[in-house]
Structure 1
Amino acid sequence: MKVCRKHFDYIHECISILDEKLSNLSKPYHEFIKLASTIPGVTDKSATYIIAKIGGMYLNPLLVQCGNAAIKDKKNPYFKFKYDRIKKRRDHKRAIIIAIARMILIYIYHMFLKKEVFNPTETDYSDILEELYKKHRE
C-alpha cells in the first residue's frame, strides 16, 4: 500500500509540474485563452488545450467534450437550443460531433480574428416554444 501511495504522490507531483510548465508556455496566448473561455462549455484549461492542438489529431475529441458541456450549460442555453434543433434531424452523436463541435471551432476562429468575446447573434429565441424557453431560464 505504501508503494501505491508513493506512486500516486509521484504522479500528482508530475501533473503539477506539467501544469506549471503549460501555464508558463501559454502566457503569450493569455488573451486568446480568455476569449475562448467565454464560450459555454469551454474552460480556461480547455481553451489552452484547443490552442495547443489546433491542427492536431486530438482536437476533435476535445471539441466533442466541450460540445457536451455546452449543451448541458444552464446559464447560456444557446448551444442547447441549437442541439435540440439539430437532433430532430440527426442522432445525438452526429449532432454533437459534426454540428456543435464545428460551431465551437468556428466561433473560436472568428473570436480570435475579431478579438471579441462570445456573443451569439442568433439569440432571438422567439421561434422556440415559450414554455421551453422558460424551462431553460429557471
Structure 2
Amino acid sequence: MVEPFESAIALLCTIPGVDRTSAVAIISEIGIDMSQFSSAKRLCCWAGLTPGNNQSAGKKKSVRITRAGVYLKPALVQAAHAAVKSNSSAYYHIKYERIAKRRGKKRAIIAIARMMLTAAFHMLQTGEIFNPSDLFQVDMPIELRNKQKEKALRQAAKLLIAQGVVSPEHIKLPA
C-alpha cells in the first residue's frame, strides 16, 4: 500500500530517529502534499504539538498541548526519543539537553518532536534530505567556538571605541 510513497519514506528516513515505520505513520497522517498546510506552524498546531496560550489579566492559565493528533503525536514522540538517544547523530541530543535543562524532560521531548515535524514539512515540500541549517553551530569544535568568541569580543571592543563609549586605554583587546 505504501509503494507509491517510497521516495517520501526514504526522504523522511534521513531524519535521525525516524525509521521506516515512523515514516509510514507520518506520511499516512499528513500525506505528501504540503499545500494543504500554509506553514509548518499550522501543521504542528494541527498535530497537537504546540502549547496553548491562555492568558487573561496577566495570569497564564493553561499551556498544555492539545489532544489533537492522536496517531501522529505518539509516533513523533517515539521518534524523538530515538533521536535523542541516537549514537549516529548528536544533533537532537544536544538540542534536547539544552531545552531539558531549563524546561524539563517532557517538554523537551515535545519540542524535539515539533522540530522533527517541522523538518518533515520542509523536506516534503522541497524534496531535500535532512540538513539542519544550524548543524554547524551544534557540532562546532571547541577550538573554533573559542576562536569565534574572541573574534566577536574584538569586534565589540572596536565598536565601543569607534562609538566613543570607551577609550582605547580602558579596553584590553584580545590577541
Distance 2:100 2:140 in 1: 15
Return closer, same or farther for 1:126/1:68 CA change in 2, 3 Å cut-off. closer
- Give the TM-score normalised by structure 2: 0.56
Q: Secondary structure at the match of 2:9?
A: helix
Tell whether 2:5 aligns with 1:29. Answer: yes
The one-letter code sitting in structure 2 at the alignment partner of 1:94 is: R
Cross-structure match for 2:154:
none
Distance 1:126 1:113 in 2: 25
Distance 1:28 1:72 in 2: 31
Cross-structure match for 2:14:
38
The one-letter code sitting in structure 2 at the alignment partner of 1:107 is: A
More helix per residue = 1
Return closer, same or farther for 1:92/1:128 CA change in 2, 3 Å cut-off. farther
Return closer, same or farther for 1:127/1:34 CA change in 2, 3 Å cut-off. closer
Pairing 1:1-138 to 2, within 5 Å after superposition: 25-54=1-30, 56-97=69-110, 99-125=111-137, 130=142
1:70, distance to aligned residue in structure 2 (A): 0.2
Q: Structure 1 unaligned runs (5+)?
A: 1-24, 131-138
Please tell me whether the aligned partners of residues 91 and 139 of structure 2 are also in contact (alpha carbons under 8 angstroms): no
1:82, distance to aligned residue in structure 2 (A): 0.7
CA RMSD of aligned residues (A): 1.8
Aligned residues with identical type, % of pairs: 47
